[in-house]
Structure 1
C-alpha cells in the first residue's frame, strides 16, 4: 500500500501540476501582493483607495516633471475617473503600459527622475482588479484608447483625431467579486488629495467639482492637522529635493508627517529617522546645552518631504522608505538631510531670536518635568518590565505591528476591555495570531489636566503604555488597531471617554494617525427557529423582525458579558464593525477635553439635556 501511495503522489505532481499564470490571473489570485489588503472602503487603507492612488500617482508624476497643473477626479458610487493634463502616454504604447507587466516609462530616470511608481505594476494591478477599465491618451491632436474587463482587452480604438488637450484619462470600476460591497468614502479620499496639493504647490485637484489647492505647501499641511496652537510661527525650510516644516505644540509626544516623491510614508523609514536625529542634534548644538533629545522633541510637530532617485520601499504599498541613498550616485539620505538641517535650521534660529526663545522655553519645561518625575519613571519602568513577563492584564498575540518580518503586521490589534466577563469572552475566541486583549480593572482615572507623571504613577496606564510600546513615540507601536471594547451603556460610554481622554492628553498622534477605534457590538438579537439576526441599531432590529415573521424572539444585550463566546466570535472577526476615533482641525484638543472632562458641570449637563435621547425598552417587538 505504501508503494501505491507514492505512485499516486508522483502522478499528482507531474508536469500537469506546474502552471504559469498570466499577468492578470496572478494579480487577481494574489491581490495582496500588489495592493495590500482588500476591504470594502470602510478603512483608509482598503484596496479600493490603493487603486485610486496608483492612478493618481501616474498623473502626479507628470505634474512633478512639469507637465499639467490640474487633475480632475470624479467618483460615483462605483466608477472612478481620473483625467490629467500631462504629456499623454505615447499613443502606440497605451495597450502595453496598461496590460504588460514591467512595462512603463519610469525605468529610465531621465524621463521620470524622482517618481513614486517605478516598478511598472501599479496601473496593471488596477486594470486586473477592475470589472471595467478604460484608458485613453490624448497627444498632439490624436488619441488612442483601450477598454478592458477584468484585464481582458475588449476594444482598442486605434489612432483617431481629437480636439482634447494632451493628457491621459483613466476610468475604472473595482471588481465587486473581489471588493465585496465596496463604496468610496470622501472622508478617506480628502486627506489623500490634500496631501498631494500640500506637496505640490501650483497643483489643483478637482474632486467631483470641489477644488483642492495649496499656496504654502507643508505649512498648510501642519495648519490643517494641528489640533493645538503652535507655540511659535511654523519654521519652513526648503531646498533642492527637500522641504521641511517644524514647530512645537503644547502637547506631549512627537508628531511627524513624512513623504518621499509625493508618497505619504505613514510608517516613516530612513528619511524620518535621519530627520529626527539631525533636527535634535542641530537644536542641541545651537543652544550649546547638553539637552536630552527627548526633551527637544517633546511636543514637536513636523513634516519632511524629500525626492529620491529610484526609491526602495519596504512594501508594494510604499508606506515605509527603505532606501539608504538619495540615488545611485547621490549621498546617503542621512548625510543629505543632516547637512541640510545643520545649515538651514541653524541659520533660521540665528536669524529669528524670538522663535529660538520660545523653543528654548518649551525644551526647558520638558526637561524640568522629566527630571521631576525621573524617580517615578524609573520605578514604573522596572515594574512594567517585571509585569510584562507575566502581565495578568495582557493576553498578547503573536504578530505585532512593529515586526520586521512577515506580511500580516497590519492585522494586529489589541482590545481594551472592561471587567472579567467581557475580557473572558474575547480572550476565549480571539485570533491568537493577531488579536491581543488588555483588561481594565474598572473605570480608569480621569487624566484631564494632569501631567505625564500620572502615566507612571497609575499602574494600569503604565502597563498599557508598556503593552503598546509607545513611551518613546508611536514608531514602535505593537498593534495597528487599538480597539476600545466597552458596553454600550452609561458606564461603558464613560470608560470610552476616559480612555480617549488619556490618549488625547498624552498620545494624540495615536488618534491622529488613525490607530484608535471603538468596537461596535450588537444591541439586539432577533431570531426564530430558522434564522438569527444580530442588530446594531433600532432600524436593523425592525428590519430583522419583519424578516423573521410573526412572534420572533428578541433579546436586548445589556453588556458584552451577556454575549456568549460563540456568538462573540463573529463580532471580532474579519468583518467586525469598528468606528475610528478621529480629530478634525476644528476639534482643538484642549477645548474638547475641557468641555467633556473638565469642571464645567452645568454647561455639560445642559448639553446632555438638550441632546438627550430616550430609549424605550418596553417596545422591543
Structure 2
C-alpha cells in the first residue's frame, strides 16, 4: 500500500507550477499556446501605450526561432524592490502575480491584469533575455526556464543621448514544453494588425528574420489614424457597406464608481449574410464575448426594434416586431472595444469578460447613442430595418424548408430519413463510427468495397456541391447533395444545430489529389465552416491523405504523399537516382477511383496505417476573411489575390 502522509504533499515553488501545468496559464501547449507567449509580451507593451508612454512596438521572429518584442515605453523598473531586496525587473520576470497593474497607480487600464504574463513566458522559455533602457543606461538580465542565470548589469548607454527608454524581451520557447516551437508569421501579423487598429497612432512593425527557405522574410508595418472606423472597413473586406459610413459610438465616463470607456463602430454589408464582429477589453481580444458583447447586442436589438416599430408605417411588411436579434445582426460588421480598471475575465487566457457592470454600462451607452443616431439618420435607419425584414423572411423560408426535410425523413420509413446513396456502417456507436465523404460514384465504389463495414460509412457526392458562401439558406437546404449530407451527419445546421444528433465522430473528406479535388474539398469546408462550425471547433472534421505515388520493385511496394517523399524513398529504400529510377516502377494515382479497394484500404482508410489531418480553426478572423475572399461574390478581389500570390503556387494542374 502506498503511504499517504505529510511527506506525500508536494509544494511547487515560484514558477515550477507553471512548468508543471502550463495549460492553466496559456490554455494549451500546442501552436495556440505557443503564440500566446507572444501575445503576453506584446500586451505588456500595449499597456505602456494605453498609459500614454509608448508610440512604437517592434516584433521580430529571430533566425534561430526565438521572438523579440521591443517598445519605447518607460522601461520596466530596475531599482531594488523595497521588500524582496532584488531588482524590480527580476521580481517581474520570476514572480507570479508581480506587476504594476493591481492598484491602478502605474496603469489606469491594463490587459495583463493578473501579473503572470511575462513571468509565465519566462518560465516556459528555454532562454530569456531582457534589456531595459532607463535612467540613461541600458540594463540587461538573462534567465533559463524561469530562473535567473545572469544578474542585472549595465551594458551601455541609452540611445538619443541617454534619453531613450523602453523594454526589449527576447525568448526562445522550451521544446520540452511545446508540441511545436515554430511560429506562424500569418498568425502573428493578424494579431498585430488588430492591435494597431484598436490603438490609433500606435505603430507596430513586424520582421520575420528567418530564411526565405523556411517561410521567413516577411515585413509588415501597421499604423492607423481612424482606429475602429479603419477596423470595420477592414472587416468588410471589400464588400459594399449598407451605410454611407459606420456608426461610431465613443464615450468615457464615471459609472458605478469607476472610470469606464466604450468605443464601438458598426455597419452592415449590403449583400452579406454572415455576422462579423470582434470584441475587446483593454485591447485584449475576447473571442468568447462576455458582458460587453451581451450589452451591445441587447441594446442594439431593443433600440432598433423600438425605432422600427415607430416607423412601421413606412413599410408594407408586418413590421419589425417579428424581427429577431439574429435578423437585425445579419450582415452586421462591428467592433466593440471597452476599457475598465480591474476587469474580471474567465481564466488567464481572457477569452470571456465576466464583469456585469460593463454589461450595464455598454447597454446604457449604446441605447442612448444609437437612438440619437437613428433620429439624425432616418434614411440609413430605414435601410437597416429593411435588411432585417428581408432576413426575417429568409429565416422563415429556411425554417419551412427544414421542416419539410424533416417530414420527408419521417415519411421515408424505408431508410429512416437517411439518403439512399449512403452506405452506412453497422455500428450505432458514434464514438467509433466514421463517415467518408468521397468524390463521385467511382471512388465511392472502391471505398465501399475496401472499408471496414462495421465502423466506416461511405457517402459519395455527385459533382461539386453548392457554394454556401454565396447562396441563401433556403437554396442551400433545397440542394439534393447538401440535403443528403445534412441527413447523414444528423446534427442539423445553424441556428438549430444539435451536436447530440451527431452520428459519426469522424467526418473524413476524401477527394482526389488534383485541382478539382481541391475545389470540392474547399466547397465542403465552406459548408462546414458556415453551417456546422461546431463540428470543426470540436475536432470532428478530417482530411484523408491518399498517396500520390506507388513505387514498386519486385515484392517491395512503397507509397509517397508528395514528390519530395517519392524522391526520398527512391534514394533510401530503392537505392536509386530519382532522376533515373532504374528497375523501379513509379505510378502516379490520378484519382481515388483508380485505386483498387485493397490499396485504398491499405493507404488511406486503415486506422493503423492511414494519415488524417484534423481541420481546426486556430484563427477565426483569418478563416472568415479567407472564406469570404475565395468563395464570396467579389471576383475582382479574388483575381487580385490570385495575381498577388501566383508566385507561390506549386504543383499546378495545367
In structure 2, relative to structure 1, the CA distance for the partners of 1:488 and 1:611 (3 Å cut) is closer
For 1:275 and 1:175, how far apart are their aligned partners in 2?
41
Summarize deviations over 1:506-530 as a string: whole Å, max 9, x none: 6599999999987361434669999
Aligned to 1:360: 385
Does residue 97 of the first structure (1) align with residue 96 of the second (2)?
Answer: no
Taking the aligned partners of 2:536 and 2:267, their CA distance within structure 1 comes to 17
Partner Cα distance (1:484, 1:586) in 2: 22
Mapped to 2, the partners of 1:160 and 1:578 lie a distance apart of 40
Task: Please state how far the C-alpha of 1:462 moved relative to its aligned partner.
Answer: 4.6
Per the alignment, residue 235 of structure 1 pairs with 247
Distance in 1, Cα, partners of 2:289 & 2:409: 27
Distance 1:342 1:482, change over 3 A: farther
Quick check: 1:35 aligned with 2:26? yes
Structure-2 change in CA distance of 1:218 and 1:252 (3 Å): same
In 2, distance between residues paired with 1:482 and 1:195? 33
Deviation at 1:291, TM superposition (A): 3.7
Is contact 2:58-2:205 (8 Å) kept? yes
Deviation of 1:106 (Å): 1.5
| Aligned counterpart, 2:152 | 157
Counterparts of residues 301-450 of structure 1 (less than 5 Å): 301-321=333-353, 323-325=354-356, 332-380=357-405, 419=444, 439=459, 442-443=462-463, 445-447=465-467, 450=471
Question: What do the CA deviations read for 1:374-411 (whole angstroms, capped 9, x no partner)?
Answer: 53243346778999x99798988679xxxxxxxxxxxx
Please point out which of 25, 34, 37 is paired with 2:16. Answer: 25
Correspondence 1:297 to 2:329: yes
Q: Name the CA shift for 1:581/1:235 in 2 (closer, same or farther; >3 Å).
A: closer
Which residue does the alignment assign to 1:69?
55
Checking the alignment, whether the CA contact within 8 Å between 2:109 and 2:282 is kept in structure 1 is yes
Unpaired runs of 5+ in structure 2?
79-86, 208-218, 253-260, 310-319, 576-582, 640-645
| Paired residues of 2:491 and 2:497 also in contact (CA < 8 A) | no
Query: 2:307 maps to which residue?
Result: 286
**444-453 or 526-535, larger mean C-alpha shift:** 526-535
Q: Per-residue displacement from partner, 1:299-348 (whole Å, max 9, x unpaired)?
A: 22222111233223333322222x132xxxxxx23321111111111111
Q: Is the 8 A contact 1:132 1:173 kept in 2?
A: yes
Question: 1:215 maps to what in 2?
Answer: 225
Q: Deviations over 1:99-126 (max 9, x none)?
A: 1122222221343333222222221221
Residue 516 (structure 2) pairs with residue 499 (structure 1): no
Kindly tell me: are residues 614 and 69 of structure 1, through their superposed partners in 2, closer, same or farther at Cα, counting changes over 3 Å? closer
Shift of residue 70 of structure 1? 0.9
Offset from partner CA, 1:274-311 (integer Å, 9 cap, x none): 32222111111111141412321222222211123322
Distance in structure 1 (CA, Å) of the matches to 2:474 and 2:296: 28
In structure 2, the residue matched to 1:170 is 169
Q: Secondary structure at the match of 1:127?
A: helix
Q: Which residue of 1 aligns with 2:142?
A: 147
Shift of 1:198: 0.9
Structure 2 SS opposite 1:456? helix
Q: Which aligned pairs between 1:449-598 and structure 2 lie closer than 5 A? A: 450-458=471-479, 459-460=483-484, 462-463=486-487, 467=491, 470-471=494-495, 484-489=509-514, 492-500=517-525, 502=527, 519=543, 521=545, 522-524=547-549, 535-550=560-575, 558-559=591-592, 562-564=600-602, 565-566=605-606, 571-572=611-612, 583-584=625-626, 589-592=632-635
Equivalent residue, structure 2, for 1:10: 2
Give the count of matched residue pairs: 562
In 2, the alpha carbon distance for the partners of 1:27 and 1:465 equals 41
Secondary structure in structure 2 of the residue aligned to 1:467: coil
Structure 2 partner of 1:329: none
Match of 1:115 in 2: 110
TM-score, with structure 1 as normaliser: 0.76
Displacement of 1:477 in angstroms is: 13
| Cα distance in 1, alignment partners of residues 498 and 57 from structure 2 | 34
Q: Label 1:111 to 1:254 Cα distance change in 2 as closer, same or farther (>3 A).
A: same
Q: Is the contact made by 1:137 and 1:145 (CA closer than 8 Å) also made in structure 2? A: yes
Q: Which moved more, 1:560-569 or 1:347-356?
A: 560-569
For the residue of structure 1 that corresponds to 2:121, the secondary structure is helix
Residues 458-490 of structure 1 show CA distances to partners (whole Å, capped at 9, x for unaligned) of 433554897375326999999999974433256
1:600 aligned residue:
none
Task: Give the Cα–Cα distance (whole angstroms) in 2 for the partners of residues 490 and 51 of structure 1.
Answer: 38
* Whole-angstrom CA distance in 2 between matches of 1:494 and 1:170: 43
In the alignment, is the contact (CA less than 8 A) between 2:133 and 2:165 conserved in 1? yes
Q: 2:289 is matched with which residue?
A: 268
Alpha-carbon distance in structure 2 between the residues aligned to 1:271 and 1:386: 46
Partner of 2:196: 197
Secondary structure of 2:193's aligned partner: helix
For 1:129, the equivalent position in structure 2 comes to 124
Which of 30, 42, 55 is equivalent to 1:56?
42
Measured in 2, the distance between the counterparts of 1:474 and 1:252 equals 21
Distance 1:305 1:414 in 2: 42
